Chains A and B, each alone.
Chain A
């Protein structure tokens, strides 16, 4: 890895002003993406993953949102310092983005062709005719049949999966170096999800575009990404290669997420969900944000915000203690055994009472 990373986010801080005070939606987030690499960002709703990606595009609605600190280095340039017009040359051209809901992300009154060609004409200086031909190529690349005819259709004439294909084609129109996919499959049927993921994987190999893949679905991450960062309450809490993260998760939150997925190999029969809800980002206290929901919480967790530390080669986690998945599973097994024992005891009690009377 001698080459400098394509994108390097350093200590990013994003705040939203609300009626109740300042919300720190993204807190001191750092990560990097290499050329041609796929990075997964995982987290539940409100963990700051979408805000992080919109910050890279500088599309945070402002006000109330604002990048309060940190750097976003793209190919060496700090995007935070870019003017709006400089940013417009990046958006859709060198970095493009596809969004969660294909049903609402396309303009209902414009033909697909118009929506695809506008960025081609803007960024690549194509004539309308060239742009149209390129749009036809793009549509056939994403697997839309009869692309020259479909170009003159309106979004409502496409199904959800087809619209997401159009979105992907639009995102790839100008051969971007980085594609940000913000939960691109969340709004789709499972079968269509698989098709879209397959398509993204194929296109990544064909075009060599780096992808930031944002999702809350760990199953999607496993099949798509090279590296993963896990976000919780606006912070990065674990960062590792996909393989390492799945085999050796070290942050109790990640462990909890993995234990919440049903397994097909029948090793674990009972899912152990994470209790509770994510914290309110309004309050700013020095403690581990996951402490109230953590199975391994200790005295120290309530007084110190853990920062990322090296737990294995190329693997960092934001936990003060050495915790791994076996411990949680042992704990869960113990808990199940205890519950069973308590139940048995209660039953015996009842039986004893019945016999006595």
Chain B
């Protein structure tokens, strides 16, 4: 078990490295830079800013610095540091030490990790509440649909999940805002301070955010329960004279959880990393809008930082899923 976790954590290293590599490459391919403004900025200013943030160095490998150091020090191993005195190299070396760099948008007064620390807890809380909503509604709805197949309950669950799947969040979000303010006369747009700590303000955006996941869980649970329901061992359980409740709770549910758990890892990562649309509609100061904003303003370190952070979350989510497989299915535990 411990060995398994260590192996999986070590396997994350090459994954994160590849993510950083690809992100950096794509970012560099995009035209423009972090200091471009609507009106012309003096080239000397840009040059100074670039030097301040190390953007004047080569993007990948600094061979000039390498040969420079090699000639002064003579030791090729120490000179290697010079080879990596590049934008990418310095970024990686700092990132490993927990420093994701300054945000260019703040002109270097704020670091990326500060920004994540400030906005991620809000997105995390929002994501957890929406996950709870998706599970607490989606799972029972799917079970109900499967157990009462082709009845009014099944169609009800189908309608709810189809809506959740197909109506985009900017529509459902705005509709919810409209209903809250016009019909119930509640002000849905809150003072930014309410987002610190749990509050009821989280509920409306969490419902909208969790709608898609809820719909997916509902459909997946339904088909999974239907599949398990006609297995031979369910017939065996009925042949033992067990009642419906025991057959469902003890024999059907645990077996039908397995496919649902598979999607939970990516789903959790997707929910806690925030959504630009929902954060805009409900004015939530979360990490999703920071990320989207960073792309627009070519805020290199913010793009790199949040992409790496999201990848880390997805990887961790998948490890959690693999661990919970073992809890549910003994066949996986032993292998």
B280: CB under 8 A from chain A?
A: no
A59-B239, A96-B239, A107-B237 as given contacts; A154 in contact with B331, CB under 8 Å = yes
B28 in contact (CB, < 8 A): no
The answer for the CA separation of A96 and B239 in the assembled complex, in Å, is 7
Are A105 and B232 within 8 A (Cβ)? yes
Overall SS of chain B's interface: helix
Does B231 sit within 8 A of A, measured CB to CB? yes
A290 lies within 8 A of chain B by Cβ: no
Q: Are A119 and B232 in contact (CB under 8 A)?
A: no
Contact call B238/A105, Cβ cutoff below 8 A: no
In the complex, residue of chain A having the shortest beta-carbon distance to the beta carbon of B233: A107
Q: Are A118 and B232 in contact (CB under 8 A)?
A: no
Interface members, chain A 138-181 (any B CB < 8 Å): 154, 156-157, 167, 170
**1/0 per position for B214-251, CB-CB distance to A under 8 A?**
00000000000000001111011111111100100011
Contact with B along A83-96 (1 / 0, CB 8 A): 00101111111001
Q: Are B243 and A88 in contact (CB under 8 A)?
A: yes
Establish whether residues A108 and B330, one from each chain, have CB atoms under 8 Å apart when the complex forms: yes
Residue of B nearest to A157 (CB): B334
Instruction: Please give the distance in Å from A102's CB to the nearest CB on chain B.
Output: 9
Q: Is the CB of B233 within 8 A of A119?
A: no
Q: Name the CB-closest residue of B to A171.
A: B239
Q: Does B110 count as interface, using CB distance less than 8 angstroms?
A: no
CB of B329 within 8 Å of the partner chain: yes
- Complex-state Cα separation, A87 to B240, whole angstroms: 11
Chain A residues near B331 (CB-CB < 8 A):
108, 154, 156
Interface size on B, residues (CB 8 A): 23
B236 contacts A93, C-beta separation under 8 Å: no
Q: Is A92 within 8 A of B240, CB to CB?
A: yes
- Best-surrounded residue of B235, B243, B329 (most CB of chain A within 10 A): B235
Q: Does A109 contact B (CB under 8 A)?
A: yes
Within 8 Å CB of A108, what residues of B? 233, 255, 329-331
Neighbouring A residues of B51 by C-beta, 8 Å: none
Kindly identify, within residues 200 to 220 of chain A, every residue whose CB is under 8 Å from any CB belonging to chain B: none
Closest CB of chain A to B261's CB: distance in Å?
13
B231 close to A104 (CB less than 8 A): yes
Q: A197: CB under 8 A from chain B? A: no
Which of the residues A96, A101, A109, A154 comes within 8 Å of B240, measured between beta carbons?
Answer: A96
A106 at the interface (CB under 8 A from B): yes
Cα–Cα, bound, A239→B126 (Å): 71
Contact of B15 with A by CB under 8 A: no
| Chain B, Cβ-Cβ closest to A173 | B240
Q: In the complex, A118→B238 CA distance in Å?
A: 11
Q: Cβ of B328 < 8 Å from any Cβ of A?
A: yes
Q: Do residues A106 and B236 form an inter-chain contact, with CB atoms below 8 A? A: yes
A51 close to B (CB within 8 Å): no
Chain B residues near A92 (CB-CB < 8 A): 239-242
* Nearest CB of B to A41, in Å: 17
A170-B236 Cα distance, complex, nearest whole Å: 10
Interfacial chain A residues near B238, Cβ < 8 Å: 59, 91
Q: Which residue of B lies closest to A119 (CB)?
A: B240
Chain B, residue nearest A170 (CB): B240
Report the separation of the CA atoms of residues A106 and B331 in the bound assembly, to the nearest whole angstrom. 13
Task: Output the nearest chain A residue to B257 by Cβ-Cβ distance.
Answer: A109
Once bound together, how far apart are the Cα atoms of A104 and B230, in whole Å?
Answer: 11
A110 at the interface (CB under 8 A from B): yes
Q: How far is the CA of A101 from the CA of B240 in the complex (A)?
A: 16
Q: Which residue of A lies closest to B231 (CB)?
A: A104
Q: How far is the CA of A287 from the CA of B232 in the complex (A)?
A: 36
Q: Is the Cβ of A119 less than 8 Å from the Cβ of B242?
A: yes
With both beta carbons as reference points, the residue of chain A lying nearest to B246 in the complex is identified as A118
Contact: B330 with A59, CB < 8 Å? Answer: no
A99 to B240, CA, bound (A): 12
| Interface contact A91-B232, CB-CB below 8 Å | no
- Residues of B within 8 Å of A154, CB to CB, are 330-331, 334
With contacts A110-B250, A154-B330 taken as known, whether A99 is within 8 angstroms of B241 at the C-beta atoms is: no
A91 touches B329 (CB 8 A): no
- Chain A CB within 10 A, most for which of B231, B240, B334: B240
B52 interfacial by beta-carbon distance below 8 Å: no
At the interface, yes or no: B254 with Cβ under 8 Å from chain A?
yes
| Residues of chain B with a CB closer than 8 A to A156's CB | 330-331, 334
A122 at the interface (CB under 8 A from B): yes
* Given A93-B241, A96-B239, A99-B232, 14 new contacts (CB under 8 A): A59-B238, A85-B243, A97-B239, A99-B235, A105-B232, A106-B236, A108-B330, A109-B329, A110-B251, A110-B254, A118-B250, A122-B242, A154-B330, A170-B236
25 contacts between A and B (CB under 8 A): A59-B235, A59-B239, A88-B243, A91-B240, A91-B241, A92-B241, A96-B239, A96-B240, A99-B236, A101-B232, A104-B232, A104-B233, A105-B232, A106-B233, A107-B237, A108-B331, A109-B255, A110-B251, A118-B242, A118-B250, A123-B241, A154-B330, A154-B331, A154-B334, A167-B236
